[in-house]
A and B are shown apart, each in its own frame.
Chain A
Amino acid sequence: MPKFPACLLAWVLCSLSALALAQGYEQLYSDYRGSLYQIRLIEKSSNSKAGLGSGFQISADGLLATNYHVVAQAVSDPEKYTLEYLSTDGIKGTLELLDIDVVNDLALLRQDNPGKEYLQLATDTPKKGETIVSLGNPLDLGMTLIPGTYNGIAGGSFYDRIHFAGSINPGMSGGPAINTRGQVVGINVATAGNQVSFLVPVDKLSTLVQHFHQRDEALDLKAVTYQQLIDNQQRIIDSILQADWKRRSLGDAKVVGEIVPAIKCWGNTLDDDESPIKRIDKGCTGQDVIFLSDEFNTGRVEYEFFWLEADNLLPARFYAEYEQQMSTFYPGNSAGEEDVTNYRCHQGFTSQPRTGDVPVSKPDRSKKPLIARTSYCVRRYKDFPDLYDIFFLSLSVDQKNRALVSHFTLSGFTQESADAFTEKFTSEIQWH
């Protein structure tokens, strides 16, 4: 029975390695628990917790890193909220906000009484599949260690996020993810459920720390946020305009699809027996938004197209159903009255020449220009007056039983970016 010992050996080895890893986790936990903190958002008048997150110390002088969304309420309403930290040994103290990065959802704070231990930021990226552990205080249950694997930068977003195969839960936001050497590789930020979670890469934090040290003037949160939003929208619009816009057909029309990998498209066809109109939908959207407050987010690019067609339907009946189906469009981001003005709109009828080869079978009308009822609306950001949400909707009205709808919303873009995008967008949509 020569095989048996080999099997046994393999089993023993496996158990040992698992044991070693398990011991490694215990070691990691006991080594680094001292630099972990719970960040508490305290409502001043009731003096009780209004929100919880995690944070970690990154320097001997008490610099603490966490997510922007953990501290956002204290930033926007400092008269109502204050920030506290609570160490794993139960030591409490207050926090001062030093710097923020709204695009990468990071905030830098300082403890009033620096702790003894702090974490090192990693300088090298982990290898795909490498084990990393996420630390934080989920649901106020106490400091918790969650092992998982590093899966590289998640594709399909305008914002770099590490795809972490592990479970991050509410309350762990702002906690560190460390490699087995105890260096921070990312900051917990979001989860998609079922072991799919996202971390902000640590180099964003290093940049923020650098930014903080280089800055000499006092922190003007509004100005910092404003600049970050402006730079971010420029980065996005540049990547979109530089990309090659590939056209895809939708009914008899050609529309754009996934311009850049960060924009994902979905499609659907509605063709039930009840409705005489067949509708083909195609919607594309940038996956993430920038969190500014619970009611206000921005930085989204979204566009969608609808193709409607029917056979031998009275035009009035076709248009009645068309109107009903296309009567509600909403902006792609959410914003409240304190954040933005009302939309201001310009509505009119537009004509665009039809290009391309017209098949002989097509009716005469298809040689005529495409007539559409087009609306262009903008609303301005009250705190960031160069930024706007832009809403565009164009509904064709020149065919008896066919219609093409193109719609886009941009949130948090400048007028120049909006102009450039609109011009490109409208010139790319064609009905052959």
Chain B
Amino acid sequence: MALIIEELNRAHRVQMRYRMDGEKFTLGRAFSNDAILEDIHADGRHAEIRHEEDGSYTLHDLNSINGSQLLGNLQDKSVKPGEISSHQITSGDLVQCGKSRLRLFHSDAAVPEAAPLHSLESFFSGLSRPLNAILLVLAVACSTVLLSYVNYARTYEWTIAVNILASAIIGLVIYAGAWAFIGRVVKHETHFFAHLSIAAIGALSYTVWEWFGGVLNYNFAIGDMMEALDFLVLAIILPAMLWCACYLATNLGRGWRWAVALVMPIGFLGLSLIESLSKLNDFSEAPEISTELKYDNMLLRKPVPMQEFIAGSPALFDIPIEKDESETGNKDSSTAEDAGSNIEVEQ
């Protein structure tokens, strides 16, 4: 059995790993040490670890200026942190010498089972290919330009196309860049092209939905339902994008990743949905009709003869008048009486 000493960096990642096979292992800033600490707070000879006769390992602080501290144990949460001068090491101890952190393991300590690769891993690796990412971005750019051309009947200037193209691409690149930066900092993984592909897929799906929603609204005049459907679509696209971004760029665990991905977008979307729902029954001076117009090759419904359509209108006239109608009625009559009696009094 040997002792494994892991020196951690400030990001709590292993910077250097040592194997102690002998009887003694020294730690300190001096170059004669087995582990040379790059730490101005560590003494030249800061501490040493001895292999005792009973087979255990003990850490001795060599009267260093800043001392040595036990910060905890990775396997046993009940271990209390504290100052140590002589400490029998158990596997998983986290120790601080000066400002350097060390993790100590017995070489025969069990390691946790390997985490299986996420099923989406191969999907992400496909997305990370620069060619795929660029093709997806081009698809977004082309569809945006095409839609803007089709939805604009006046003379289509090339500057409009350039403008739209540039803003679509810049938008996607900024999104991918931001997440790549977060990933670089937090997880030391950039995945720029994967983020770019995800943003492009999100944008494409929303564009497809917008077109399809237009056709739906044209055919079925779904009105207020449209807003709910839009919410539903965004409530799928945005969490999916955020989930992918969290997966690629952060160290969040499964549960937290889902929580962040679901709660943030749905929370914000929900607020705006509630706001528009609360306005649903508000008085509006103009009739609320769907104004969507498309050529009848998009028409999925069979038109009814005009006479039949008009014949169906009487049902519309049966509009209930809210209860405050009776109150105002009472008010009117009572005030009329009041006015009458006032005059009589004055006469």
Find out whether the CB atom of B313 lies under 8 angstroms from the CB atom of A318: no
**Contacting chain B: which of A122-130, A162-170, A175-183, A369-377?**
A369-377
B residues near A346, Cβ cutoff 8 Å: 309, 312-313, 315-316
Contact with A along B331-342 (1 / 0, CB 8 A): 011011011100
A residues near B153, Cβ cutoff 8 Å: 275-277, 310, 313, 317-318, 320-321
B residues near A372, Cβ cutoff 8 Å: 303, 306
User: Using a CB-CB cutoff of 8 Å, which residues 308-354 of chain A contact chain B?
Assistant: 310, 313-323, 326-331, 334-338, 341-352
**Contacting chain A: which of B177-185, B227-235, B280-288?**
B280-288
Find out whether the CB atom of B316 lies under 8 angstroms from the CB atom of A376: yes
B38 contacts chain A at the CB level, 8 A cutoff: no
**Contacting chain A: which of B12-20, B114-122, B201-209, B290-298?**
B290-298
Contact of A350 among B284, B295, B305 (CB under 8 A): B305
B110 contacts chain A at the CB level, 8 A cutoff: no
Find out whether the CB atom of A376 lies under 8 angstroms from the CB atom of B313: yes
Find out whether the CB atom of A376 lies under 8 angstroms from the CB atom of B310: yes
Measured in the bound complex, the distance between the Cα atoms of B313 and A144 in whole Å is: 53
B residues near A338, Cβ cutoff 8 Å: 328
User: Using a CB-CB cutoff of 8 Å, which residues 393-432 of chain A contact chain B?
Assistant: 393, 395, 397-398, 400, 415, 418-419, 422-423, 426
Measured in the bound complex, the distance between the Cα atoms of B295 and A343 in whole Å is: 27
Find out whether the CB atom of B317 lies under 8 angstroms from the CB atom of A351: no
A residues near B322, Cβ cutoff 8 Å: 341, 382
A320-B152, A341-B319 as given contacts; A348 in contact with B291, CB under 8 Å? no
Contact of A343 among B152, B288, B310, B328 (CB under 8 A): B288
Q: Interface size for chain A: under 10, 10 to 19, 20 to 34, or 35 or more residues?
A: 35 or more
Measured in the bound complex, the distance between the Cα atoms of B289 and A373 in whole Å is: 11
**What is the number of residues of chain B that contact chain A, defined by CB distance less than 8 Å?**
57
Find out whether the CB atom of A419 lies under 8 angstroms from the CB atom of B314: yes
Contact of A337 among B283, B286, B319, B346 (CB under 8 A): B283
A86 contacts chain B at the CB level, 8 A cutoff: no
Measured in the bound complex, the distance between the Cα atoms of B154 and A274 in whole Å is: 6
B residues near A331, Cβ cutoff 8 Å: 285-287
Contact of B346 among A94, A321, A371, A418 (CB under 8 A): A94
Identify the closest chain A residue to B344 (Cβ).
A96
B residues near A371, Cβ cutoff 8 Å: 296, 299, 303
Find out whether the CB atom of A379 lies under 8 angstroms from the CB atom of B319: yes
A159 contacts chain B at the CB level, 8 A cutoff: no
Most chain A Cβ neighbours within 10 Å, of B290, B295, B297: B295
Find out whether the CB atom of B285 lies under 8 angstroms from the CB atom of A398: no
Measured in the bound complex, the distance between the Cα atoms of B279 and A426 in whole Å is: 34
B301 contacts chain A at the CB level, 8 A cutoff: yes
A314-B150, A315-B295, A419-B313 as given contacts; A335 in contact with B285, CB under 8 Å? yes
B residues near A280, Cβ cutoff 8 Å: none
A250 contacts chain B at the CB level, 8 A cutoff: no
**Contacting chain B: which of A34-42, A213-221, A252-260?**
A213-221
Measured in the bound complex, the distance between the Cα atoms of B139 and A65 in whole Å is: 75
Contact of B332 among A97, A222, A393 (CB under 8 A): A222
A244 contacts chain B at the CB level, 8 A cutoff: no
Contact with B along A209-234 (1 / 0, CB 8 A): 00000000011111000000000000
Find out whether the CB atom of A349 lies under 8 angstroms from the CB atom of B319: no
Contact of B299 among A78, A334, A397 (CB under 8 A): A397
* Extra A-B contacts (19), CB below 8 Å, given A321-B153, A330-B285, A352-B306: A112-B343, A221-B332, A221-B336, A326-B293, A331-B285, A345-B287, A348-B303, A350-B304, A351-B303, A371-B296, A372-B303, A376-B313, A379-B319, A383-B328, A397-B293, A418-B317, A419-B313, A426-B307, A426-B310
User: A-B pairs with the 8 shortest C-beta distances?
Assistant: A321-B153, A343-B287, A337-B283, A377-B287, A349-B303, A323-B293, A351-B303, A347-B221
- Measuring CB to CB, which residues of chain A are less than 8 angstroms from any residue of chain B? 78-79, 94, 96-97, 112, 218-222, 274-277, 310, 313-323, 326-331, 334-338, 341-352, 369, 371-380, 382-383, 385, 388, 391, 393, 395, 397-398, 400, 415, 418-419, 422-423, 426
